[in-house]
Amino acid sequence: MRPEIRRFHTFPLTVMKLYKRNIAVLLACTVFAILAPSCQNAARPITAAKRNENATRPFTHTNFINSPDYRFTRDMWSNDDRLAAANGKNSRVDILVGVQRGRLYVNDEIALDFPACTGKAGHETPLGSFRIQEKDRDHHSSSYGYVVDHKDDTVNADATPSSKIPPGGRYIPASMPYWMRINGPVGLHEGAVYRDSNSHGCVRIPVEACKILFNKLTVGSRVNVLP
């Protein structure tokens, strides 16, 4: 009977040892299952490497204009080397009315692509090839402005010099910084840039781009207004 008793006692002890071993393995697997995803996410150099590779790849003007957001974006594209070489003789500006964009070319190579806002219906910006006739850093419109009351609150944001002025109020000509006249009362200047035609005929340009054009172009520089 003793052998049987030994077998009887030995069997549960073996089972207990196996049970404890299995519990340890099970716990280890559980811990690994929990930690593995976070460890895997923490050590993913491939994705980062791809991002870095894309970040260092030149973003060409072709990439920029082929973007589905090109027509409506307010972003600008530029080439610093070409901008540095720009001057009044080797540079020209093309205003593209159809996409409401402007482009500065230096030696016939694109140097700057920027959003623009041309004339709305009834005040269309004239198409054609023009030259800058005048530059004025702090120009004010002789045709449009706004009217304020005696408290300096705007009562007419789309006024002309002949607009009615309330008692104690006044007419204020519209500010047109970085003015570059191209055709009569029409010119390029800093102003609010919507993504559709919204001006009284001038070409409004964001301040960042308009400063560059004003500093690089001279009287006589070519400006083409294209469909």
Q: Which two tokens stand for residue 221?
A: 């520089």
* Sign of the torsion formed by the C-alpha atoms of 154, 155, 157 and 162: negative
> Is 189 annotated as catalytic?
yes
Which residue among 117, 139, 189, 200 is the active-site one? 189
- Start-end of H helices in 119-205: none
How do beta strands 186-190 and 203-205 pair? parallel
Q: How far apart are CA 126 and CA 99, in angstroms?
A: 16
3-state secondary structure of 19: helix
Q: How far apart are CA 12 and CA 62, in angstroms?
A: 77
Which residue among 117, 139, 200, 202 is the active-site one? 202
> Is 117 annotated as catalytic?
no
Cα angle 136, 137, 142; round to 5: 55
Q: How many CA atoms lie within 13 A of 14 on its CB side?
A: 6
Q: Are 158 and 146 in contact (CB under 8 A)?
A: yes
Residues recognised as catalytic? 189, 202
